C-alpha cells in the first residue's frame, strides 16, 4: 500500500494513492501543494483496524456496518464498525484520520421505494421466468417467503405440470407476491 503521512499527505512515489512503484511516478500537475486534510476521525472503540487482503475481502460483505479507510502508522487500514466524526469535531486522543468512508447500507433501500411498495415486496429483486421449470417452484417460493418476487418459468412444460406447479406455489405462498411466466410452447 502507498505510504502516507499522518495527515494523509502522499509520499514521494504516489500522488493520488493509486500507484506505488517508481515507474508510476505521477506528473507534476497531480502533486498536491498542501497535505490532504483528513475527512474526519475514527474512534476504534473495541474494533481492531486491519490491512490484510483476506479481512478486507470479508469486510465488503458487511454492508450494514460502516467502513472507514483510516491512516495508521503511515499506511491505510480498514476499520469496520467503530464510530466516526466528520470534520474537525471533538475526538478521542487515539482517533485515526479518515481517508474514505463507506456508509452502512440496506438492500431494502436500493432504488425507488415505490417499486417495492407497488409490488408488495421488501427487497427490490425480481427473478425467474426461465423455461422448463428452471425457475422452479422452490425458487419462486424461496423468493416470495423472503420478500422478493419470483416468476415460475413454464415454457416447454405440459399443461398438467404447469397446473400442478401453480397449485403448489399458490398453496404455499398465500399472501406473498409471486408470478408465472405462462408461455405454453410445447408441440
Ligand atoms: C435458460 C434460460 C431460460 C429462459 N427462459 C425464458 C422463458 O421461458 N420465458 C421468458 O420470458 N424468459 C426466459 N428467459 C429470460 C429470463 O427470464 C430473463 O428475462 C433473462 O435471463 C434476463 O434477465 P437477467 O438480466 O436478470 O438475467 C430465460 C433465460 C434463460 C437464461
Global pTM value: 0.67
Which residues, in sequence order, are bridge partners of residue 126? 149
CA 93 to chain centre: 32
| Residues lower than pLDDT 50 in the chain | 1-23
CA 68 to ligand 1 centroid distance, Å? 39
Show the ligand 1 pocket: residues with CB < 6 angstroms.
129-131, 134, 153, 155, 181, 183
Task: Please identify, by atom number, the ligand 1 atom nearest to the C-alpha of residue 131.
Answer: 8
Q: CA dist 6 to 20, 38, 65, 96, 99, Å?
A: 18, 9, 25, 9, 11
Collapsing DSSP states into helix, strand and coil, what is residue 62?
Answer: coil
Residue 56: what pLDDT? Answer: 87
Amino acid at each position: 500500500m502507498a505510504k502516507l503521512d499522518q495527515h494523509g499527505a502522499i509520499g514521494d512515489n504516489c500522488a493520488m494513492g493509486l500507484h506505488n512503484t517508481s515507474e508510476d511516478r505521477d506528473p507534476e500537475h497531480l502533486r498536491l501543494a498542501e497535505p490532504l486534510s483528513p475527512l474526519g476521525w475514527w474512534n476504534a472503540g473495541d474494533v481492531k483496524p486491519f490491512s490484510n487482503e483476506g479481512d478486507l475481502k470479508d469486510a465488503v460483505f458487511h454492508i450494514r456496518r460502516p467502513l472507514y479507510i483510516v491512516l495508521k502508522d503511515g499506511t491505510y487500514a480498514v476499520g469496520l464498525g467503530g464510530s466516526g466524526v466528520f470534520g474537525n469535531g471533538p475526538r478521542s486522543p487515539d482517533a485515526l484520520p479518515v481517508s474514505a468512508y463507506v456508509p452502512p447500507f440496506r438492500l431494502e433501500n436500493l432504488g425507488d421505494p415505490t417499486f417495492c411498495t407497488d409490488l408488495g415486496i421488501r427487497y427490490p429483486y425480481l427473478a425467474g421466468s426461465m423455461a422448463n421449470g428452471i425457475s422452479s417452484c422452490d425458487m419462486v417460493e424461496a423468493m416470495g417467503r423472503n420478500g422478493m418476487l419470483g416468476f415460475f418459468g413454464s415454457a416447454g412444460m405440459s399443461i398438467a405440470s404447469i397446473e400442478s406447479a401453480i397449485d403448489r406455489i399458490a398453496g404455499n405462498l398465500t399472501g406473498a407476491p409471486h408470478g408465472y411466466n405462462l408461455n405454453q410452447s410445447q408441440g
